[in-house]
Amino acid sequence: MTKPGDRVKIITSEQELEGVLMPEEKEFIVLKMDTGYNIGIDKKRVKEIALISHPPERETELPKTQPKTGLPKISILHTGGTIASKVDYTTGGVVAQFEPEKLIEMFPELRNIANIESRLVRNIMSENIRFAHYNIIAHEIKKEIENGSEGIIITHGTDTIHYTAAALSFMLKDLGVPVILVGAQRSSDRGSSDAALNLLSAALFITASKNFAEVAVCMHETKEDTTCLILPGTKCRKMHSSRRDAFKAINTEPWARVDFKAKKVDYLKTGFNERKAGVPEIREFKENLEVGIIKTYPNMFADIFQSYKKYDGLIIEGTGLGHIPIMEIDELTKEHTSIYNSVKELIANDVIVTLTTQCIYGEIDMNVYSPGRKLLDAGVLGNYCDMTTETAFIKLAWLLSNYPKHEVKKLYSVNLVGEISKRLEK
């Protein structure tokens, strides 16, 4: 008699398949192959299910980890389960492993890098994160620093990890230790998972870099399991939906390259904040603040802009150097005058309106063409800024949370935490 979790051979009229038996569906038998992928086999095709072996008995409780003398203390705070989870083949579900003992069981190399404190803050898919979660994470970071941690790793879903990295960069004033966010593009039970290298590289970087005290993201540099990059928290972006090297530095260089196998860290640029004693001051987000993003596209209408009239702020992701369709050039473009008037009306109603570019690289320059100059005259902010739309959104929301609007207008185009480049790099 076989049951989920058993290793089996399934014999059909066409082939023989070997793998781990998963809970069956209504019409299919589900088998997890050694590649990590599941396949469904029509029950009508199955001639025989032969047992190969039962799963080994699992230890119900692992011995508590004992601190090692001479190793620094690193705290791992979990906000999402993918990077610290594995498949339970009895149920077919993903089981989160947040306790230090279970985490070290999954990633045993950690025990030789640092003394690990690990706990769950939230278990949430990253698209569900709100400003209130940023405040929670920031306070948990402060708590760990107060308890003696020399560095913090935040495990996080990759889809919005760059938003959170930017948010923490603005929130944590006088941060004296490194805060490194890590994610995984492939789940930990797959042979192609990037989870281990990302997490271990972040831990190695914290222990090997004695001066670095910034918020950063650590992810694969290439598709291979070779090196990871330490990316600036306000100047990185997810550039691919599934590749392991999805994250890139934008308009700047990464802080460093980590070669975990060689136990080597190479700095690629300097200018980072250095470590110091003390705990950071937290400047929170207002949880009910309303900031929107509009992407510019052909055949726009004014009513989409008017729908933001009750918002606190609005990011317009314009084309190229920073344009939106506001020029009436013939009988077919009369709507563009209405769009321009709607933008002016938003600004008159005290909505902070800023402009970014749909281009991934480069900066806004509203002085080159007439549409840009008209937007400048109307009071649209962002000229000469090279912030990504995601970082611009976070910065505007954070400024509106901490300053009166007349100060927000002054500070938006000022480089505060490395979000605006002095010069653009490759």
Enumerate the active-site residues.
82, 158-159, 238
Ordered DSSP codes for 405-425:
HHHHHHHTTS-SSS-S-SS--
Q: Where does 172-302 have alpha helices with state H? A: 195-208
Q: What is the secondary structure of 74-101 as a DSSP string? A: EEEEES-SGGGEEEETTTTEEEE--SHH
Place of tokens 């540099």: 221
CA distance 215 to 179: 5
Beta bridge partners of 219: 229
DSSP annotation of 360 reads S
315 close to 393: Cβ distance less than 8 angstroms? yes
Residue type, 413: S
Q: How far is CA 263 from the centre of its chain?
A: 25
Max Cα–Cα distance, the chain, nearest Å: 77
Phi first, then psi, for residue 334 (nearest 5°) are -65, -30
**Can you count the helices (H) and strands (E) in the chain?**
9, 22
